[in-house]
Amino acid sequence: MPTSDAEQTSEPAAAPSLAQAVEALARGVEVLLSLSLHEEAAEVAAVAERLGAGPGGIGHNVFRREGEHRLILYESDVFRLNETLGLSYLATLLANPGREIHVLELVGSDAALASDAGPVLDLEARRAYRERIEELTDELADAERANDPERAATCRRELELLRAELARGEGLGGRERASGSTSERARQAATKALKSALARIAAESPSLSRHLASTVRTGTYCRYDPDPRLPIVWRF
């Protein structure tokens, strides 16, 4: 029986590659999340993670603000947290991998930091500066032992800044100067907020907690520094 031209020229459709299958599943996770089907999204994300296991995984993660909540997807973990300043600061860091962000840029014009009161280095401020200098000195020694030149350089820059502020402030006695005090209060506030956010994330996703513990740096300059050999993409 003669065959038609269509039958003679048709060929089976090529099967999708593993990478294409993982990409399709990742898009499916996005759709399910947009429909607030979080349990279903977690199940599909788990399949995608297994298929995409290895260097880089599927590389699609979510850290999206939804009203008063933050929707987070990492690997196969999907959860929501009430939005806080710490999560907002963390989102800024995740959106700028590898970039050092000064705390004053990170916190913006938060009301708690909007104005300065009193001398730049009162007794409490001097104590805070000296404690931070001790912390940084230990961190610098640790970075040098670990042969981590980038972290060591960051510690040195902050140490130079704090020592200069401390020397100038003590030399000026009681003269008013807002910038140094505001910067230090911003550092303390940002560090406290970020630590709180990381603790809340740890309760929901140990794997994301481990990732952030090894990649997020706090201080006068904050930074999210993922391994460039393991690409990771965050969607907001």
Any domain includes 5: no
Any domain includes 138: no
Any domain includes 105: yes
Per-residue burial over 56-70, b = 16 or more CB atoms within 10 Å of its CB, e = otherwise = ebbebbbbbeeeeeb
How much is the pLDDT for 93?
96
Report the number of distinct structural domains present in the chain. Answer: 1
Give me the torsion for CA of 11, 17, 21, 24, rounded to 10°. -70
Any domain includes 28: yes
Any domain includes 166: no
Give the predicted TM-score (pTM) of the model: 0.57
Do 205 and 72 meet the contact criterion of CB atoms below 8 Å apart?
A: yes
Any domain includes 64: yes
Q: Domain range spanning residue 69?
A: 12-118+176-235
3-state secondary structure of 192: helix
* CA-derived radius of gyration, the chain: 24
Distance CA 45, CA 23 (A): 11
Any domain includes 199: yes
Any domain includes 184: yes
pLDDT in tens, the chain (236 residues): 555 555 555 555 565 665 666 667 767 777 777 777 767 777 777 676 555 543 344 456 889 898 898 989 888 788 889 999 999 999 999 999 999 898 888 887 554 444 444 444 556 667 777 888 888 899 899 989 999 888 888 888 888 878 877 776 554 443 444 445 677 888 888 999 999 999 999 999 999 999 999 999 998 889 999 988 777 889 88
